[in-house]
Amino acid sequence: MSILDPTNLNAYLFVSTVLFALGSYAIVSRRNAVSVLMGIELVLNSANVNFVAFSRFTATDLRGQLFAIFVIILAAAEAAVALAIILAIYHNFNTIDVNEIDSLRD
Amino acid sequence: MLQALLVILLLPLAAFVILTAVGRRLPRQGDVVAVGANLAAFAVAALVFVQVIFGIHDPGFHRTWQMDYLRLGSFHLEMGIWLDNLTACMLVVVTLVSSMVNLFSVGYMAGDPRYSRYFAHLSLFTFSMLGLVLAHNLIGLYVFWELVGLTSYLLIGFWFEKHSASNAAKKAFLTTRIGDVGMFIGILIVAWKIGDFTYEGVFAGIARGDLAGSLLTLAGVGLFLGAVGKSAQVPLHVWLPDAMEGPTPVSALIHAATMVAAGVYLVGRLYPVFNLEAFWIIALVGSITAFLAATIAITATDIKKVLAYSTISQLGYMIAGLGAGAFTAGLFHLWTHAYFKALLFLGAGSVIHAVHTQEMFDMGGLRRKMPITFATMLVATLAISGVPGLSGFFSKDAILAGTLAFGMAYGGVRYLPFVLLLVAAGITAFYMFRLFFVTFTGQPRDHHKFDHAHESPRVMTIPLIVLAVMSVVSVGIPFVTDHWFAEVVKAPVLGAHAEAGHSPAAEASPAAEPSAAAEHSPAAGHGAFAVTHEHEHAAHLPALAGSILMSGLGILMAYLTYGRGVVSAAAWSRYLRPLYLLLKNKYFFDEVYQVLVVRTVLLLAGLARLFDIYVVDAMVNGAGKLSARLAWFVGGVDLFGVDGLVNGLAQTVIGFGRAARKVQTGRLQNYVYGFMGILLLIVFVKMFR
Amino acid sequence: MGGEFFYRLVFTGLSAVTLASALVVVSSRNLVRSAFALLFTLGGIAGIYVYLAADFLAATQLLVYVGGILVLILFGVMLTNKIVSVELYQGSARVGRSILLFAGLLYVLFSVFFNTEWRLRGRPEMESTVESIGTLFMTDFLLPFEVVSILLLAALIGAVLIARHEVRGK
């Protein structure tokens, strides 16, 4: 627990890393498409945390934060589109099990 | 002179070529060409004869012409012509008899389907024989020797549809072949030691002593073997009676007068090559043959067979004479015998032509039906029986005198030739007159045949008459000019040159005095004989007496048995049955040869055949099978190995492909996992480097 | 000082909440539970932003992420509830290798982060960033700002189009 020192960069890096790993895990292993989307959000957020942490501890300006804002905006757009796609897939395949959606298969 | 000789030689060859090429299409199938060519050759030969014998009249005369024929490195061979007194006589013999036979054949062979080919063969033979007597070296001699053998084969087997004829031709060829091998060995020994093939070279070499001792004897015997074969001496005589399968004019030409005389000629020509040992063998062989053949002739019933054995016997006379040193006598007998034997055969041919049979005991009484034939045959029979006044008397008497002198000079067992020949003379007279009486006198035995008989046409009787005349005058004018032969044909002497002068003995007079020549060349030629003039003088009278006595006895016995029928031949053949059977079966020579020689050869042939089938063929087939199996194996390798490899490769690729396909799941998460995983892997690797 | 301790305590709590919720997000079989856990995760992250002196960002996070995106996701979950009422079972093989990936990532990232010597700036002041960010948006980052707004528009239209198309297509 000594790693969780808010005055130290490492703490924030720890959090973002774990979030990233968890998010990746979710992307790769979850069967539900929405779950995969959630994993994506986790990954984005972990990147954001990274940006802001570095902005605070190593940068002289606020670019990191600004970039994080942009990320949030784009995440929003992306989430909307993703959900629309998921709906479309459901209508076409009658399922949102990613295992079943393999039309690109050889 | 050379041109004349070439003309004589080449005329019959030209006739052969023409007849072979276009014979069939010529008018009368070209028989005119044959007869004409041979007669022309005779004419030229007669001219040469007169020129040499009476013009030059030199016993030591000889001339050669030669040209280079072959050059192989250090070996070179010339071909050429040798002319001496002996050659001149031989030329006349060959061409005269040949012309007469050709003329006779026009009548005898009329209607034969292969008429023109017959004449072609006859002319080829004549050419070969002429080449033989004109050759100037051993190779030329051998070449023509073989040619003569070939043409003999062709002519004996002329009616080749008859198995007996083709078999007889084969037998003749094979039997003489045996003799030819010996002759070739003899030639090789001479060539090896002396190195020269020409007669001159060979004689010179022997005089120098290049070839001597047992090797010389061997060479002599080898060469003599050729004569044994060709001249049908015992033991190679078995082919001649069978050769009677050929047309009778052929028998007259080849197997009476010329080809069989080639052996005698050989001995005469190569006289200096033989040493005393060789000569003794020659004399023995000749006299035994003369005796044996005469005895067989007593029991023969086929007219041609009688004449065949008669020929063998008379040839034995000549050979024996030569072997005993009576060079001139032996060759003189060759000269006279040619004419009356040819006449005998042609006469027989005339008879056969008339009665269509060869069995004497189907004939009889033909005197009335065929007067010309009868008369001429009588002349010939008298001549061969040695009746004084005819040519045969002079020559036979000369041989008897010569062999008696030989016996006197050496004594002991060396009298044997004389004894055998003397007895044979009596037997000869007997069986010849037996033939004569049975055929021409008495009552006809087969009336059917007799009725059909008629005298032969002129083409056939003219030769008979000509030959009959020759049977009398071939000696010159009897009792008047009967020395001419002896004056010019004398034994060659090595080293010393022949002397022109000679003792006025009636017969054989060897030239140089052998006793005077201190050096007896161990090699030969006549110079080796120890027979002297004294011997000859001493032998002259007894021989004469004996000769006349035996002839008379023989004729008398024949007359009593077959002329008058007083003595019964059938009865005698019963009393002496074993002897009779022995003679009737020709001393079983053929049977013995069949078992000893023929069966052995056939056995060997069978073995060779088996070897060929089971060994050679097995190897060849085995090789074939091996190849096939190899090919099958290679095919298998190709199919399973190579193809397997190729296919396997393809299968592997396909397998990889199938495996690789599985990556394309179409599932996103797999892809994400994939690239993230690999990314991680790369980082790991980088980290731990 | 007590303040120091409290400071750290809250931070630890925030981190714990964030991470624990994330864990629930990724491992819950219940989709709704998963979505709600995501709520807490995002909230926790907002708190962490505060500790990083990014006040505007924290607010934005709460407003947009939690208030917008999460709500959207929740709608999506609710709408597709009948399909996914049956809990989907994960393939164990997949889990295995995913955990492997998880572990690998952790290891790699940890070793990178904690072994690198970051050039630290020292502890700056905690001040409000609103004004700064607003200024930046209007000056240095104007273009991206405008582009992003167009992008949002496009995304909006696109999303509607995609979803609506399907309804029409039926």
Convert the pLDDT of each residue in B613-630 to its tens digit.
888 888 888 888 888 988
| Mean pLDDT estimate for chain A | 87
Residue of chain A nearest B673, judged by CA positions: A28
A 15-34 near B (Cβ less than 8 A): 24, 27-30
Q: What angle do CA B377, B165, B348 make, to 5 degrees?
A: 5
Q: What is the pLDDT of residue C117?
A: 83
CA-based nearest residue to B119, from B130, B109, B131, B129: B109
Cis peptide before B388 (omega within 30 of 0): no
- In chain A, what are the domains? 9-105 (1.10.287.3510)
The alpha-carbon gap from B663 to the nearest alpha carbon of chain A, in Å, equals: 9
d(CA B468, CA B339): 8
Record: contact B666-A102, CB cut-off 8 A: yes
Record: contact C80-A41, CB cut-off 8 A: no
Q: Is B666 an 8 Å CB contact of chain A? A: yes
Q: What is the pLDDT of residue B527?
A: 55
User: Which chain A positions have a beta carbon within 8 Å of B676's beta carbon?
Assistant: 24, 28
Give the closest of A24, A62, A74 to C101, CB-based.
A24
User: Which chain C positions have a beta carbon within 8 Å of B676's beta carbon?
Assistant: 101, 105
Contacts of residue C5, defined as CB under 8 A and 6 or more positions apart, other chains included, come to none
The alpha-carbon gap from A71 to the nearest alpha carbon of chain C, in Å, equals: 10
Out of A29-38, B300-309, C121-130, which region has the weakest mean confidence (pLDDT)?
C121-130
Record: contact C26-A11, CB cut-off 8 A: no
Give the closest of B665, B666, B672 to A28, CB-based.
B672
Chains in contact with chain A (at least 3 beta-carbon pairs closer than 8 A): B, C
Q: What is the pLDDT of residue B195?
A: 80
Record: contact A77-C113, CB cut-off 8 A: no
Instruction: Tell me the percentage of chain C whose pLDDT exceeds 70.
Output: 86
Cα dist from B437 to B344, B445, B663, whole Å: 14, 13, 128
Convert the pLDDT of each residue in B634-668 to its tens digit.
888 888 888 888 888 888 898 888 888 777 777 77
The alpha-carbon gap from B645 to the nearest alpha carbon of chain A, in Å, equals: 29
d(CA B202, CA B191): 8
Of the residues C25, C141, C147, C156, the best mutation for testing chain A's interface (the one with the most A CB atoms within 10 Å of its CB) is: C25
d(CA B676, CA C97): 12
Q: What is the pLDDT of residue B488?
A: 75
d(CA B93, CA B657): 106
Convert the pLDDT of each residue in B582-621 to its tens digit.
888 888 888 888 888 888 888 899 998 888 888 888 888 8
Q: What is the pLDDT of residue B457?
A: 84
| Cβ atoms B308, B245 nearer than 8 A | no
User: Which chain A positions have a beta carbon within 8 Å of C83's beta carbon?
Assistant: 90, 95-96
What residues of chain B score a pLDDT lower than 50? 496-526
**Which pair of tokens denotes residue B689?**
């480097």
HSE-CB for B216 with a 13 A CA cutoff? 27
- Helix locations, B23-82, DSSP H: 31-49
Convert the pLDDT of each residue in B346-401 to its tens digit.
999 999 988 888 888 888 888 888 888 899 999 999 999 988 888 888 889 989 99
Residue of chain A nearest B670, judged by CA positions: A28
> What are φ and ψ of residue B454, in 5° steps?
-155, 160
- Residue A98: pLDDT over 80: no
* pTM for the structure as a whole: 0.64
- Residue C111: pLDDT over 60: yes
- Residue A12: pLDDT over 90: yes
Contacts of residue B676, defined as CB under 8 A and 6 or more positions apart, other chains included, come to A24, A28, C101, C105
User: Which chain A positions have a beta carbon within 8 Å of B672's beta carbon?
Assistant: 27-28
User: Which chain B positions have a beta carbon within 8 Å of C97's beta carbon?
Assistant: 673, 677
ipTM score here?
A: 0.89
In this structure, which topology does domain C1-114 adopt according to CATH? Four Helix Bundle (Hemerythrin (Met), subunit A) (1.20.120)
Q: What is the pLDDT of residue C90?
A: 55
Instruction: Tell me the percentage of chain B whose pLDDT exceeds 90.
Output: 27
Q: List, in sequence order, every beta strand (DSSP E) within B221-261.
A: none
Number of other residues whose CB lies within 10 A of the CB of residue A30: 27
B 633-662 near A (Cβ less than 8 A): 661
Residue B223: is it exposed, middle or buried by C-beta count within 10 angstroms (0-12/13-18/19+)? buried
